[in-house]
Each structure stands twice: as structure tokens, then as C-alpha cells.
Structure 1
Amino acid sequence: MPPHPAAATGSARLDRAKLLAARYKAAEARPYLASALYALTVVPSEQVRTMAVDRYWRCYVAPAFVDATGVEELAGVWIHEAAHLLRDHHGRADRLPAADQRDRLRVNIAQDCEINDDLVTDGLRLPPGLMEPRLFDLPPGRLFEEYVRDIPASCAHTLDCGSGAHGVPAPWDLGEHGTGATAGLGPVEAEALRRQTAQAIRAHARLRGTIAAGWQRWAEEVLEPTVDWRKALTGAVREAAAWAGGAVDYTYRRPSRRTPALGGRVVLPSLRRPLPRVAVVVDTSGSMTEEDLAAALAEVSGVLREVGVGGNRVTVLACDADVHAVARVTTVDQVELAGGGGTDMTVGIRTALSSPDPPNIIVVLTDGHTPWPPEPVKARVIAALIGPDAPQPPPWTETIRIPPRP
């Protein structure tokens, strides 16, 4: 395969000794980032203005930029580009709203703001012209997803850190065509490298305590990630719905397809797979705010729709120490959140199970300060706990913790 033009252009002119000396200096100054720095594959290219990365951990370098920049500043740029990949900026950019994704330069500015305020605080020297939050009167220490909302679309920014940052393929990208020395890393190797770097940061912080706060926060999030409660709730309801739908029974309403083979003398029943029925028990005691309840109930409603449960198969019970309202609903607006007294979710669960058409799944929205049934009930119970201090429910429930709204 002929060499990729981005790899061939300007390769003879690159001062590799200077560039690699800068990487060594960066690794020596920040040893916890050494593995990430040395995992980057150098690809000379005159199509980039400075340095840029792709999602395969290739670092595209402009020879003229290396010539014009001091070793200490180059060391700072090495760390800057590695930070884009360690923080999975391209993966996070893929999850932005479509309108933001199309404005790759504004996304890149926001990402640079997330990185550079940490690097400057950490005492690193960077070339002039790099973006920092203070240039936009924004506070330091935020994630780029927060910054991107406040970066003006018309902002002048000529630098491009590449698809490894903003996620949009660049003209110089090798993509999946790199081989040999330019093969790059796959997603599994990249994730292992992130964890290894996070562990090195944690160990360095314990021994010396000289890690920038932004890097420490990043490392803790990698090693002990915050669970996305919406995904967890969706998964729990989906699993419970599959479990309920897996139950089968015999019915004569639709005879078995084997009946004709018996000449009509015997009618065989067919197996049916029932749709799950769901009850949502909402804690309306005095310790719960109506705003939190409405927000959480809206989320549960969305989860139920996503897994295909809706219509008259969902019953909502408003409950404090007694059940105040029971309704089969099709929209959140139909729910009456009555109550405001003491708390006993056992009453709501038992009321749901005593209905003529009892549920297979019960979702309990509560702050957790409530009695629970003393033993497992005849339904899958998902306890959706609102607030960080909610006590742990019985082990036979499936627990999802919902943080309070900011």
C-alpha cells in the first residue's frame, strides 16, 4: 500500500530529535502521564498547523511548528494533545447535540478550555494563543460540555486538535489504514491505557500530593465512574420486562398450530407470552418535594415508553402512610401526587399487588426513609431512590439511586 499523503508530506524535514526531547521532558515532569505520552505515534504532516491527534492515538506534527517552538512549550503541547485522548474528548463529542457536533471549532475551543486551565494551574508552559476559560469570562474547572454553550460561534480560532478531540475526521487522518509504525491503538487498548494512567495519577497523588485538581477528578471518575442512573433504570426495567414477558401460559383463545394435524378431534391450547404490567408507587410524604417527584416520574415514564410498556398497563399509586390515588395513566400530566404525611411504601406495594390485575414489575420512587415489606413479594421491585442520603432498601429489591436536580 502506498504511503498516506499526510504521512509522507514533510517527513524528511521533521526535527525528530527536538520533538522526542520535548516528549521526554514532558514525561519526566509528569511521570504519571508517561505511558500515554509514549503511546502516541508520531506522524509528520504539513497539513496540520501545530500538532493534532486522531482517535487511534496518532499525533500529527507540523515540522515548521517544531522548528519554531521551544522544547519546554513543545512538552506542554505533548501533554495537551495526550489530554484530549485520555479524557475521551472525541467519544464525548459524539454524544453532543447534532448542532454542536457540526461546529467542530467551537467544540475544540471548549475542549481546550477544559484542558488548558488545568495545565496552566499545573505550571506548564504553553505556546501563546491557546484557549483558556478566562478569555471568555468563564470560571475554571469545568468540563467542555459546559463551556461549549458559552463559546460564541463566531470566535476566531485557527488551531485544530484533530478528530481525536472534536471527533470530526480531518483531511490528514490515516483512519483505519495505518499499518506498521502508524497502526495506532484500538478502543480496547485505549481504554486500558486510560485506566493505567488514572491509577498512576492516584498513586502519585498519594505519595506526593502534587497533582492538579482537574487530573485528580478525571482519574477518580475513570476508576470509580458515576453511574448514569437513567441507563441503570432503563436496564433494570428492561430486564424485568423481559423476565415478565418470558412467563408463558396456555390459552384456548388461539388454538395451537398442531391442532389440524389431529383431524379436529382434539383442540390443543397455544402458549402465550403476556405483556408485563407495571405499577409505579410514588412516595408523596412530606420529605419529598413535588419538583423532584415530577422530574423523577417523567424519567420513569420515558423509560417505560422506551422498553415498550405504556397505555393502560401502567398504574401509578400516590402513597405516603396510606394510598391516596390510584390511576392507570398514559401521560405524566394525568398523575395526581396527593399526600404529604408519614411514609410507608409497604402499603403502596401491597395495594398494587392486591389489584385484580396485579403487576409483574413495581417501581418505587422514594427518598428511602420508609418501611419495606419484610420479605420478597410476588413481583420484581425496583427501588428508585431520590437523593444522595437515601438508606439502602432490602437486598431483594433492585436499587437505582437518582441524584437530586441541580
Structure 2
Amino acid sequence: MDTAKLLAARYRAAEDRPYLASALYALTVVPSSRVRTMGVDRHWRVYVSPEFVTATPVVELAGVWVHEVAHLLRDHHGRAGRLPAADQRDHLRVNIAQDCEINDDLLQDGLALPEGRMEPGRFGLPAGGLFEGYLPAIPATPHAPDCGSGAHGTPAPWERGEDEGPARVGPVEAEALRRTTAQAMREHRRGRGRLPAGWQRWAEELLEPTVDWRQVLAGAVREAAAWAGGAVDYTYRRPSRRTPALRGVVLPSLRRPLPRVAIVVDTSGSMGEDDLAAALGEVTGVLREVGVRGNRVAVLACDADVQAVTRVTGADQVTLAGGGGTNMVVGIEAALALPDRPNIVVVLTDGWTPWPAETPSCRLIAALIGADAPEPPAWVESVRVGSA
């Protein structure tokens, strides 16, 4: 492999964008003829095709370096692990959506990228979005890019094992690199440097020391509702307006259904009723704002078993029955077994509960009540509910 050319490209990327230097130089190079271009694993090892290096100009190689490190800085593999199981299995579609999230920023920043790159406009999507929002509109394709487990979370055939060489970056070091990079981006902006909007948003969200839990919870529910509402499909119940122009042919129209939501409320003896009522009020308020109301919201009161199931339009209609042990798995399973299966399940709990063994086929958000609430599994989106 032309190592000098590859490292010259990394040097160029770091010189042009010094705020990325620490992250770029943390990547360990692994030559591999099995990878098509370049890819990363979750241990910050970058796998590089010698043929790709030979065929690609230095200026484009520099762009690919930035692209691959962006997957790791934005914790794409961690975020992919919180997707529903069906989406996780379709990891190449996830990779396309992630590339769209990254490449619009890189192109806005003037970086050169190889032909065939994935961009939001290629799928009729607006720039500046997150990959979770792009994913529903990405079609399945057998010819998608594969940037490795550092992007979509699924180990690629060309990746080495966790305990194999060369050196790897652990989770604590990775988080330190993210914070160092975000701080460097903030300093770059203070010096009147130019920074794409996506990087600005990422850096500020990472460095913001205190956030009102109500805003975080509202954002999580809105994002989940937008994700679930993106499931557009064709229907013949309302024919397309173009149908009269085609004699004897009925065209379907597009239908974007509103998501259904289930709220599982932990009513075990360890939960405070005032905190529960406040958090539940916030969730139902957010749902009304995004247009989800009426019989689209089911509330399940659950301790070690489901004690009550109600469909509500406001928190004041909920009966918080219970007071025994704690097992939110029962509540989640009961929610998914409802006749109108929910797209989103929000669990209000103090965290002292078992969780499902694997990602359910829905968007799952845990609103953790109390400063000492333990973390749920990594694939569960979590918001810490406090008194702010």
C-alpha cells in the first residue's frame, strides 16, 4: 500500500481542519484488500484498501478520512444500537442514512469526496438532518456502502476481533476524544473560523453541561414521533388525484400515518406519585403538540404486572394503580400486544427494573426519574428526569 500517500492525505485533513486532528491521529491504520474503500470499526481502527489509495487523489482521500472519523465522533454505532431490531438488521440502509447525515456537512465545508457518495438530495431529502430522520426514506439496495461497525454497529467481514491487534481505542478514550474535538470546534468558532451547521450542532449538544429534562424528553418524543410518522405507504382507500387522467386505471395515494404511542408507568412502591404525575403530564403535552392524541395514546400502569390500561387525552385521566414489585418488561410486552400496536413506547421509571433482552420492534424511550436511576441497556434511549 502507498502508505506515504495515505498519511499525506490524513495530514492534509488535519492541517485544513485542525479541530479534527486529535480524532484523526487516534485512528489506527489496518491495510486490507477485503474492504472496498475505507471503513472503521468501533475500536477506532480504520481499514484501508491499497487499491483504493492508489486510485484516489490525495484531496479526495483527505475527505474520506474526515468522513470515516465523523462516524466515530458522532457515535453512529451507539445511536444505531438504539434503532428497532428490524432497522439494525438492515445495516446497509442505516449506513446510507448515516452517510447522508455526514456528507452534506462535508460538502458544505468544501471537502472533495469520491464519486458515488451518498447525499440527502439524492433521495429527495433536505440537508442538515440526522440519520434517524433520513432512514425511513432510504430504499433497500444491495449496492450500499459499508463503512463498518464504527458506523452501523454490525461487524464487517474484514474487521478484526475486539482482542486482536493493532491497538484500539476504548469507550472512555473515545468519549474523551469526542469532547476534545467538540471543544476544539468551539474554540475554532470563537476565533471566527468557519464550521458547518451539522458540526456546530453536534459540538454544542455534546458540550452543553446542563439541559432542562423537559426539553430533552420533548425532543426525544418528537424525534420518535417524526421517525414513526415517516413510515409512508401507498393506499387505495383514497385514490390518487391523477386517477381521472388515466381511464380504467386506479392509482394509489401516499399515506403518512400518525404514530401510536404507549406510555408504561412504573407504579411500584419505590416511585414518587408527584414525580410521576409531573413527568406523565410532560409526555402527554408533547404528544398533543405533535398531533398524537385521543385513542392513539395508551397508558399502562405497571409494577410487577400490568394493573391498568387506559387510552387518554390528558394526564388527569390516568389511574396510577400498583405499589408492588417492579418489572417494566411485562409492561413493554403488554404494550406491544395491544390491538393497535404502538410505534413508540415511553417508560416512566426509577430505573430499578429488568429490561427486555433485545431491542423491541418499536422506538423505546426510558424517562429515568431520580438522580440515582441506573442506566438501561445501551440500545434504550434514555432521558434523566429531574426537578429542573
TM-score, normalised relative to structure 1 = 0.59
CA distance in 2, matches of 1:39, 1:229: 34
Tell me what 2:28 maps to.
Answer: 41
Q: Counterparts of 1:217 and 1:72 in 2: how far apart (Å)?
A: 26
Instruction: Say whether 1:291 aligns with 2:288.
Output: yes
Q: State whether residues 37 and 49 of structure 2, in contact with CA within 8 Å, keep that contact through their aligned partners in structure 1.
A: yes
Q: Larger C-alpha radius of gyration, 1 or 2?
A: 1
Shift of 1:332: 2.3
Tell me what 2:309 maps to: 331
> Does 1:116 pair with 2:103?
yes
CA apart distance, 1:231: 12
Distance of 2:172 and 2:7 partners within structure 1? 26
2:56 counterpart of 1:51: no
1:229 corresponds, among 217, 230, 242, to: 217
C-alpha displacement of 1:335: 7.8
Matched to 1:201, the amino acid is M
| Cα RMSD after superposing both structures | 4.0
Q: What is the match of residue 17 of structure 2?
A: 30
Residue 134 of structure 1 corresponds to 121
Are the counterparts in 2 of residues 232 and 400 from structure 1 also a CA contact under 8 Å?
no
Moved more, 200-209 or 139-148: 200-209
Amino acid at match of 2:207: L
Contact 1:230–1:299, Cα closer than 8 Å, also in 2: no
Question: What's the secondary structure of 1:125's corresponding residue?
Answer: coil
Partner Cα separation in structure 1 for residue 39 and residue 286 of structure 2: 48
SS of the residue corresponding to residue 42 of structure 1 reads strand
Residue 185 of structure 1 aligns with an amino acid whose one-letter code is V
| Aligned residue in 1 for 2:6 | 19
The counterpart of 2:199, out of the listed 215, 233, 236, is 215
The CA deviation string for residues 360-390 of structure 1, in whole angstroms up to 9 with x for no partner, is xxxxxxxxxxxxxxxxxxxxxx9xxxxxxxx
The answer as to whether partners of 1:43 and 1:58 remain within 8 angstroms in 2 is: yes
| Residues in 2 aligned to 1:297 and 1:162: alpha-carbon distance in whole angstroms | 42
Match in the other structure for 1:154? 141
Shift in Å, 1:143: 0.5
Q: Deviations over 1:71-92 (max 9, x none)?
A: 1110000000000000111111
1:218-367 equivalences in 2 (<5 Å): 218-224=202-208, 227=213, 228-229=216-217, 241-242=269-270, 280=277, 291=288, 301-302=299-300, 304-305=301-302, 308=304, 311=307, 330-333=308-311
Identify which of structures 1 and 2 has the higher relative contact order when contacts are C-alpha pairs closer than 8 Å and 6+ apart.
2
Residue matched to 2:83: 96
Unaligned runs of 5+ in 1: 1-13, 245-275, 312-329, 340-351, 360-381, 383-397, 402-406
1:206–1:161: structure 2 CA closer, same or farther, 3 Å change rule? same
Q: Secondary structure at the match of 1:140?
A: coil
Q: What is the one-letter code of the residue matched to 1:177? A: D
Residues 76 and 98 of structure 2 are in contact (CA less than 8 Å); yes or no, is this contact kept in structure 1?
yes
Name the CA distance, whole Å, in 2 between partners of 1:166 and 1:141.
19
2:57 pairs with 1:70: yes
Per the alignment, residue 344 of structure 1 pairs with none
**Counterpart AA for 2:105:** D
Report the 3-state secondary structure (helix = DSSP H, G, I; strand = E; otherwise coil) of the residue aligned with 1:56: coil
Q: Structure 2: where are the runs of 5+ without partners?
A: 222-264, 324-349, 351-384
Letter in 1 for 2:155: P
- Rounded to whole Å, the distance in 2 between the matches of 1:291 and 1:145 is 22
Q: Do 2:100 and 2:131's aligned partners in 1 also have CA atoms closer than 8 Å?
A: yes
Query: Is the Cα–Cα contact under 8 Å of residues 19 and 188 in structure 2 kept in the other structure?
Result: yes
Alpha-carbon spacing, 1:223–1:299, altered in 2? closer, same or farther (3 Å)? farther
Separation of aligned partners in 2, 1:219 and 1:277: 35
The answer on whether the counterparts of 1:26 and 1:75 sit within 8 Å (CA) in structure 2 is: yes
CA offsets 1:176-207 (integer angstroms, 9 cap, x no match): 1223xx12111111111111111111111111
Equivalent residue number for residue 203 of structure 1 = 187
Distance 1:243 1:139, change over 3 A: closer
Q: Please state how far the C-alpha of 1:171 moved relative to its aligned partner.
A: 1.2
- Given the alignment of the two structures, is residue 176 of structure 1 paired with residue 162 of structure 2, yes or no? yes
For each residue in 1:8-64, what CA deviation from the matched residue of structure 2 results, as whole angstroms up to 9, or x when unmatched?
Answer: xxxxxx111111110000000000000000000000000001100000000000001
Which one-letter code corresponds to 2:83 in the other structure?
A: L
SS of structure 2 residue aligned to 1:196: helix
Where 2:151 maps in the other structure, the secondary structure is helix
CA distance in structure 2 between the partners assigned to 1:57 and 1:75 by the alignment: 17
Map of 2:347 onto structure 1: none
| Residue 81 (1) aligns with residue 68 (2) | yes
Q: Counterpart amino acid of 1:137?
A: G
- TM-score by length of structure 2 reads 0.62
CA 1:103–1:210: 2 relative to 1, 3 Å: same
